[in-house]
Structure 1
């Protein structure tokens, strides 16, 4: 049985899947893990865990289907992450994670002053924010000179796995475009002048597209993983883009909405759209461009409430349904870990407005769901204002398993959402890219055949007026509380130090 294996390294877990030539899932496996938060605004992870979990997942998947013949391996991972390694591929420190890690504020200000914001946007497509990889590289150079003195290579989770599996030193264009300001998006190449200025001791990874074959499994990697020597391995990409591939949401006019620990949005087009408050990136495939955004908390917020109240999700969902639209007069800002797009404010903080002694945990849970939906609407409206042509919404991720969250997002945004049959996520997309790259006799699979639409969520027109008013208050609440939130954020940093 011809299969492809896909593994994704996520924020809270690593997931693996073995898929046959028709797209059917033969086996799946998961390994939960935790990131490290050594200080307020810092989010890190030990890269050795990525490889360890990959080897565990691959062996478990292959043991579950001994008849499988692995034709190719696909990889993806959270990002953009910054992992620097020495000449022997030993990490010089833990990997610094994507936009949820906000440590490089001083470096963002410095690089913006040195290079000019207009020039940064011209070259890379976006202003520098906590999502950008370049300032985090500079942070290591500034703050950890001993680690910096050993650094010679740059990796992200997917490219780290490729290196361990094949020995290839590559990075996909999509990931590279988020190492701003070191990538030129129109040239689809590293920006040599700025690379030599800010990362002179780091060798530039060779640039490939996500579905390109990077190399083949080595003897050492085969011994560690159980995958046969010589099996092709694709270059891979960041998880949100692999997830978009997994549901076919990578064509012009598509918007992928990923429900997870954080919320992620990827709009695809053929033109480079530049927006000061969103992320302009290369696409997963040649000739495509993306305008992307992300909420810093979504599923993390509901998990926090579940832990805080001691209630299980079933109870909270039932009580949130009973609460009804508007959460009986509550309004929440979901900025419990700062916020990424479109406000780009790492010092924003969560706010719950309208609380009374009569409110219940169900009202709070409903308000949290509505807060993430309001954040999605803010992103979508900002994308459209920048010129994004959004024609189709595809919902993916673990949060699509529940009906209420999906319905709230459709009601708040007024958008129809399509939910595919398989919402396994980025690992499934990585397996598809591997199947496409290794297809025999040009018989490449189509994702529409692998993963058709299973259901459609339509907005309730009766909720529109209420949510339009709530959205207006949502925007005004941030403006009204930002100064106090910033002061509190400064106090929190001082306490942590």
Structure 2
């Protein structure tokens, strides 16, 4: 039996999967690492932590593997998007990585609009200037840490730096490059126009490769540290959302994914590079060659639920904490929640907005609040689905992965709020499986990712909309959509009191 490894470099941990030719996960290892939060709005990580924990995880996985290590043919990666890693001419890291959820760059986002123009930026990069993207981070370092920026030779994204440490070679794939605001999405090349406008050289950007592209083999040093064979082939990999889409079979027009992790994502496959969503949703290159995807983001999806549990029931398991929510009718007895705990992304790109419970009544119990949190997260994701539908997309079937796929009541709620069939997968491994599939395809196991998906991905259960719930949620959603505009000014006034 032959095997591949999928490495998912997330925000809180690296998850490593050993997958065989039948798409079965044979081994799974996870290693966590810390966030560095120096002040409000800052979010960084030490890239060496990624390398150290991935090395330890791979060594553990190989140690547990009872087959021939030479049968592990390939390895590929999924990675947290947008994070900035700066390295010097000797490929030494110059500072901590600034992560996707860092919001210090509001000033630099405005500068991008001033220099490029909103319309032109959307024409080239298909995306608005948001704090999470990479170019604003580059400009922040250039302005605030000029001595570091002057020593910077090239920038990388998190998984690309990790892969460099495995192979000694520097590359970036199209799906991750699409989240930098430096890539011409349609032409699939670095934008010389945007680089020139900000005084950045073409050499500052890594060579571009396909996500399934072969980029080298494991170095002798890394093979010694992990037990992998030096013949193990390494493939570029992709952005976490693109890999999550591959690992969920989002590989054909109309296929749509709802992924609820720390943040929440609604992602839909696109064959064309010329659609215009006016910047309301993200528009990125897929990890499948010559394909694209559109994506809406809820910044605090699963995070809203974990915050609520940790704040009010820290010692309870999630299953115990959510007990009773199935007894609460749609609408939580008139209680609404907006999941704006850290600001919002889609459709309101607003780093200042904060969450609300609306309609609290003395009759409400904890189970009403818990259900309202789930409904609020789902309403937020539905805003993205409605944007897709208003552009003419037909969305009648959605694959649900992540935390939102672990609870039957929540899955039914998604079917009712989205008014679509919801599919839960048999083995839901998300981005790590997508990375493994890129390695399998790169190794030539299958002639296409679609054919790989037919073997690797199966549906376990399907949830259908319940009409009376659909009708209730459609009324509630209209009320939910009013909360942002009616609390925006209040949150602006409260801002000075936040520490």
TM-score norm. by structure 1 comes to: 0.95
The match for 1:104 is: 105
Matched, 1:376 2:381: yes
The correspondence of residues 21-100 of structure 1 with structure 2, limited to 5 A, is 21-68=21-68, 69-98=71-100, 100=101
Tell me which moved more, 384-393 or 210-219.
Answer: 384-393
The correspondence of residues 359-438 of structure 1 with structure 2, limited to 5 A, is 359-390=364-395, 392-438=397-443
Q: 1 CA distance for matches of 2:481 and 2:447?
A: 51
The match for 1:350 is: 355
The match for 1:14 is: 14
Q: 2 CA distance for matches of 1:428 and 1:318?
A: 31
Q: 2 CA distance for matches of 1:109 and 1:423?
A: 39
SS in 2 for 1:120: helix
Alpha-carbon deviation of 1:40?
Answer: 2.0
> Structure 1: any 5+ residue segments left out of the alignment?
none
Distance 1:266 1:440, change over 3 A: closer
SS in 2 for 1:22: coil
SS in 2 for 1:343: coil
The answer on whether the counterparts of 1:170 and 1:206 sit within 8 Å (CA) in structure 2 is: yes
Alpha-carbon deviation of 1:386?
Answer: 3.4
The match for 1:122 is: 123
Matched, 1:460 2:466: yes
Distance 1:35 1:412, change over 3 A: same
SS in 1 for 2:4: strand
- Measured against aligned partners, the alpha-carbon deviations of 1:291-317 in whole angstroms (never above 9, x if no partner) come to 111111111111111111123312221
> Structure 2: any 5+ residue segments left out of the alignment?
none
Q: 2 CA distance for matches of 1:81 and 1:250?
A: 26
Matched, 1:204 2:205: yes
The match for 2:295 is: 292
SS in 1 for 2:283: strand
Alpha-carbon deviation of 1:473?
Answer: 0.8
SS in 2 for 1:264: strand
The answer on whether the counterparts of 2:94 and 2:152 sit within 8 Å (CA) in structure 1 is: yes
Alpha-carbon deviation of 1:331?
Answer: 0.5
The answer on whether the counterparts of 2:419 and 2:465 sit within 8 Å (CA) in structure 1 is: yes
Q: How many residues align?
A: 491
Matched, 1:306 2:312: no
The correspondence of residues 271-350 of structure 1 with structure 2, limited to 5 A, is 271-272=272-273, 273-275=275-277, 276-310=279-313, 311-350=316-355
The match for 1:238 is: 239
TM-score norm. by structure 2 comes to: 0.94
Alpha-carbon deviation of 1:319?
Answer: 2.7
- Measured against aligned partners, the alpha-carbon deviations of 1:53-109 in whole angstroms (never above 9, x if no partner) come to 1111111111111304210001111112111122232222221222x3221111111
Alpha-carbon deviation of 1:5?
Answer: 0.8
The answer on whether the counterparts of 2:32 and 2:53 sit within 8 Å (CA) in structure 1 is: no
Q: 1 CA distance for matches of 2:445 and 2:272?
A: 33
The answer on whether the counterparts of 2:115 and 2:197 sit within 8 Å (CA) in structure 1 is: no
The match for 1:475 is: 481
Q: 1 CA distance for matches of 2:374 and 2:91?
A: 42
Alpha-carbon deviation of 1:250?
Answer: 2.4
SS in 1 for 2:494: helix
The match for 2:139 is: 138
Q: 1 CA distance for matches of 2:92 and 2:199?
A: 18
- Measured against aligned partners, the alpha-carbon deviations of 1:211-262 in whole angstroms (never above 9, x if no partner) come to 1111111112212222111311110111111111112112211111112111
The answer on whether the counterparts of 1:269 and 1:389 sit within 8 Å (CA) in structure 2 is: no
Runs of 4+ that moved beyond 3 A: 386-392, 440-445
- Measured against aligned partners, the alpha-carbon deviations of 1:127-181 in whole angstroms (never above 9, x if no partner) come to 212232211111111122232122222111221122011112111111111111x
SS in 2 for 1:446: helix
Q: 2 CA distance for matches of 1:364 and 1:400?
A: 20
Tell me which moved more, 393-402 or 65-74.
Answer: 393-402
Matched, 1:217 2:218: yes
The correspondence of residues 152-163 of structure 1 with structure 2, limited to 5 A, is 152-163=153-164
Distance 1:199 1:450, change over 3 A: farther
The match for 1:485 is: 491
- Measured against aligned partners, the alpha-carbon deviations of 1:440-478 in whole angstroms (never above 9, x if no partner) come to 596986212112111111111121221111111111111
SS in 2 for 1:81: coil
Instruction: Give the aligned CA root-mean-square deviation in angstroms.
Output: 1.8
Distance 1:366 1:147, change over 3 A: same
Distance 1:442 1:256, change over 3 A: closer
Alpha-carbon deviation of 1:206?
Answer: 0.7
Distance 1:254 1:462, change over 3 A: same
Q: 1 CA distance for matches of 2:124 and 2:236?
A: 24
Alpha-carbon deviation of 1:121?
Answer: 0.8
Q: 2 CA distance for matches of 1:239 and 1:207?
A: 17
